Amino acid sequence: MIDPDQEHRLAAALRSADRAERDRAMHELHDRLGRPLFQLCLRITCDAALAEDARQEAFVDLLRGIGSFRGDARLSTWLFRIAIRAASRVRGRRQAGQAVRLDDHTPVGNDDPVARSIERENATRLLAAIDRLPAPQRVVLGLASLQGMAHAEIAAVLGIPVGTVGSRLHEARERLRAALDPP
């Protein structure tokens, strides 16, 4: 992640009249947060291509809205909120009943072709199970599992009580366990 001082510097650079400075700040944000944002969007959309679309929309929305960023929250927190909204919009455009899918560029982490195939199959099953969760549970699960955010951080990103984060996360994990455990 990015420390608060760097975020303050990046927010100022994004507001700069100097295009080169804005571009450098955007590249730095993308380098540092692009993958975590993609992973979060993937957990919301359950589709690699849609997750990439959502991530790109989030960065565009960031640029469009940076003038309204008041600095009440961290820049990264604000960007995660933007990404959640973008992913929800993109997911809403997905056709009902469309199969969950990973693309060939979605990393699964193994060089052995057989193991990679098994990992991809397991990842697809997991995404399908996540896809069946209610949106609030998908979002909390994505922030906790992939971003490693503490309950208080998630509460700040979503603007909900910490106890609600805990209950949504617990329910999401229970539903996933039930969906993925063999009968």
User: What per-residue confidence (pLDDT) applies to 6?
Assistant: 92
167 within a domain of the structure (yes/no): no
Answer for the pair 133, 176: CB distance below 8 angstroms, yes or no.
yes
Q: Structurally, how many domains does the chain consist of?
A: 1
Whether 142 is in a domain gets the answer no
Instruction: List, for residues 76-120, the tens digit of each pLDDT value.
Output: 989 999 999 999 999 888 755 555 555 554 555 556 667 767 787
Q: Which of 43-47, 98-102, 114-118, 170-174 has the lowest mean pLDDT?
A: 98-102
Per the structure block, which two tokens stand in for 92? 């809403």
In this prediction, residues 144-170 reach a mean pLDDT of 91
Confidence of residue 72 (pLDDT cuts 50, 70, 90): confident
Which has the minimum average pLDDT: 52-56, 114-118, 149-153?
114-118
| Domain-located, residue 9 | yes
Contact of 25 with 62, CB cutoff 8 Å: no
Sign of CA dihedral 40, 86, 8, 19: positive
Range of the domain at 80: 1-98
Res. 122 pLDDT band, cuts 50 70 90: confident
Is 116 part of any domain?
A: no
User: Whose CA is closest to 126, among 79, 177, 182?
Assistant: 177
Residue 181 belongs to some domain of the structure: no
| Interatomic CA distance for residues 78 and 58, integer angstroms | 10
Q: Is residue 160 part of a domain?
A: no
Go through the chain and tell me how many residues it has: 183
**CATH number of domain containing 70:** 1.10.1740.10
2, part of any domain: yes
Q: What is the mean pLDDT of residues 26-34?
A: 95
Q: What percent of the chain has pLDDT over 90?
A: 55
pTM over 0.85: no
Q: How confident is the model at residue 31 (pLDDT cuts 50, 70, 90)?
A: very high
Residue 93, in any domain of the structure: yes
Token representation of residue 175: 């539903």
